[in-house]
A and B are shown apart, each in its own frame.
Chain A
Amino acid sequence: MSKAPTRKWTWFHRFGSPKWFYHFSSGLLPWLWLAVALCLVAGLVWGLAFAPADAKQGNSFRIIYIHVPTSFLALAGYYLMALAGAVGLVWRIKLAMWVLRAAAPLGAVLTFISLFSGAIWGKPTWGTWWVWDARITSMLILFFLYLGVIALQQAFQNEEGANRASAVLALVGMVNIPIIYKSVDWWNTLHQPATIKMTEAPSMHPDMWHPLLLMIVAFYLFYALVLILNLRCEILRHESRSQWVRELCKSRS
């Protein structure tokens, strides 16, 4: 950013500086790796081996240790993506646009895993792969929203245009998500396709619930890790001609 920032905003623009972020994240990464590994292993072992089996569902309920965290992140990821797009549009910070680029496929994959794990969970529990339940339908629509953002990004030749267009679309999507969710909820109560109701965290026993909490934390950290790794690649790709990247390459080789 060659615009001269006022002093009040220096931290903001410094955070948006690719070079600064690259070096900052270099220091952060080892700790993040460690935290992800610890939380993930502990959460998985606790949830899969030590948490008690569900009274009705038996062991198949354990898929919630994947399903619930991915569902949480899929939605949070969309908000993150749209907010990054807004920052990129308003303050013209490239780093924010790269967050948007990285978050779109990441979110789509998480949404897909959430849907897929939901289907696997549904088969033994309710005897069907798919139900038009409000939650599942909303997740499917979220998946479509992600696909739209990715498709728009791919369609533009010029990266600048791709970023700005997908940022606008992501923002429009973000405004619409609550409306879509509410209307799908409303539609669902109207039709009541089956007597199936998903049981969720609040009614769970603490012994089942605590490992889930740990897994949610682990997935958030994992998301951050993958996002940062993606961003570092983008930074190197875009700044490959700059002095500091060249020096970095020299010192590595």
Chain B
Amino acid sequence: MSHSPLLSVKQLSCQRGGVRLFHNLAFELASGELLQLAGPNGVGKSSLLKILAGLSTQYEGKMYWRGQKLARRHSVYEKDLLFIGHLSGIKKSLSPLENLRWYFPETEDSKILDALQHVGLAHYEDQPCAGLSAGQQRRVVLARLYLSSAVLWVLDEPFTAIDQKGVRQVEQRILEHIAKGGAALITTHHDLGISARKLDLSDFAVGALT
């Protein structure tokens, strides 16, 4: 395993809607690492994940991916990033299979069906997602974890609406991923059943400085 970090963040500050969220944030993420972002609501966890994914430009500071500086509208990650946010990214009028085909156009259907089986959605593949329960819809989203070849996983509250058994499965999947040299950043209000390095964003809140 290499020692140079995959992702490194330096002096990152974020201000949204006139409110300063975090200031001078710095951390590194190496391959094989799982980092859990902690802190109370409104501390800027989701904002940070959006910034790291390249969806938000409302920040000051520097970020590096494999030593390469990330520009504001970067496309350095290409296929290296898997981002699961608050919004599902799932079309309700399409079936799970059709939804996942959009994310993985190169993947054969049989592999997508395997992934759906992993998340407990076997035989649901052709039903429109609108007919699935909230937890099942979330499982469609999480099926991406079984299909993606991305190195960096950025997961914002992935366990919402998922039952305990499902949570355990996803945790196992994350372990597999980092064991293979991947890295993951996660926010969750669940207690993680697997060991993770913690980063408390409230340590970088503006109030903490003065």
**Direct touch of chains A and B (CB < 8 A):** yes
Q: Which residues of B contact A158 (CB under 8 A)?
A: 16-17
**Beta-carbon contact of A159 and B18 below 8 Å:** yes
**Beta-carbon contact of A160 and B17 below 8 Å:** yes
Chain A contact-residue range equals under 10
Partner of A157, one of B17, B57, B58: B17
Shortest distance from the beta carbon of B82 to any chain A beta carbon, whole Å: 27
CB-nearest residue of chain A relative to B72?
A92
Shortest distance from the beta carbon of A237 to any chain B beta carbon, whole Å: 10
**Beta-carbon contact of B17 and A3 below 8 Å:** no
Partner of B60, one of A3, A157, A160: A3
Q: Which residues of B contact A92 (CB under 8 A)?
A: 57
Chain B residues 5-61 with CB under 8 Å of chain A are 13, 16-18, 57-58, 60
CB-nearest residue of chain B relative to A92?
B57
Partner of A2, one of B17, B18, B57, B60: B60
Shortest distance from the beta carbon of B14 to any chain A beta carbon, whole Å: 12
Complex: A160 Cα to B57 Cα, angstroms: 11
CB-nearest residue of chain A relative to B57?
A92
Shortest distance from the beta carbon of A130 to any chain B beta carbon, whole Å: 43
Q: Which residues of A contact B16 (CB under 8 A)?
A: 158, 160
Q: Which residues of B contact A2 (CB under 8 A)?
A: 13, 60
Q: Which residues of A contact B58 (CB under 8 A)?
A: 160
Number of A-B contacts (CB under 8 A): 12
Interface size on B, residues (CB 8 A): 7
Complex: A158 Cα to B18 Cα, angstroms: 8
Shortest distance from the beta carbon of A165 to any chain B beta carbon, whole Å: 14
**Beta-carbon contact of B17 and A159 below 8 Å:** yes
Shortest distance from the beta carbon of B150 to any chain A beta carbon, whole Å: 29
Shortest distance from the beta carbon of B27 to any chain A beta carbon, whole Å: 19
Chain A residues 131-170 with CB under 8 Å of chain B are 157-160
Complex: A159 Cα to B15 Cα, angstroms: 12
Complex: A248 Cα to B160 Cα, angstroms: 50
Chain B residues 56-73 with CB under 8 Å of chain A are 57-58, 60
Q: Which residues of A contact B13 (CB under 8 A)?
A: 2
CB-nearest residue of chain B relative to A3?
B60
Q: Which residues of B contact A160 (CB under 8 A)?
A: 16-17, 58
Q: Which residues of A contact B60 (CB under 8 A)?
A: 2-3
CB-nearest residue of chain A relative to B61?
A2
Complex: A9 Cα to B179 Cα, angstroms: 47
Complex: A73 Cα to B114 Cα, angstroms: 66
CB-nearest residue of chain A relative to B17?
A158
Complex: A158 Cα to B15 Cα, angstroms: 11
CB-nearest residue of chain B relative to A1?
B60
Shortest distance from the beta carbon of A153 to any chain B beta carbon, whole Å: 15
Q: Which residues of A contact B17 (CB under 8 A)?
A: 157-160
Shortest distance from the beta carbon of A242 to any chain B beta carbon, whole Å: 12
Q: Which residues of B contact A159 (CB under 8 A)?
A: 17-18
Shortest distance from the beta carbon of A137 to any chain B beta carbon, whole Å: 39
Complex: A92 Cα to B57 Cα, angstroms: 10
Complex: A157 Cα to B18 Cα, angstroms: 11
Shortest distance from the beta carbon of B87 to any chain A beta carbon, whole Å: 17
Chain B residues 134-168 with CB under 8 Å of chain A are none
12 inter-chain pairs at a CB distance below 8 angstroms, sorted by A residue, are A2-B13, A2-B60, A3-B60, A92-B57, A157-B17, A158-B16, A158-B17, A159-B17, A159-B18, A160-B16, A160-B17, A160-B58
State the A residues within 8 Å of B (CB): 2-3, 92, 157-160
Q: Which 7 A-B pairs have the closest CB atoms?
A: A158-B17, A2-B60, A160-B58, A3-B60, A159-B18, A160-B17, A159-B17
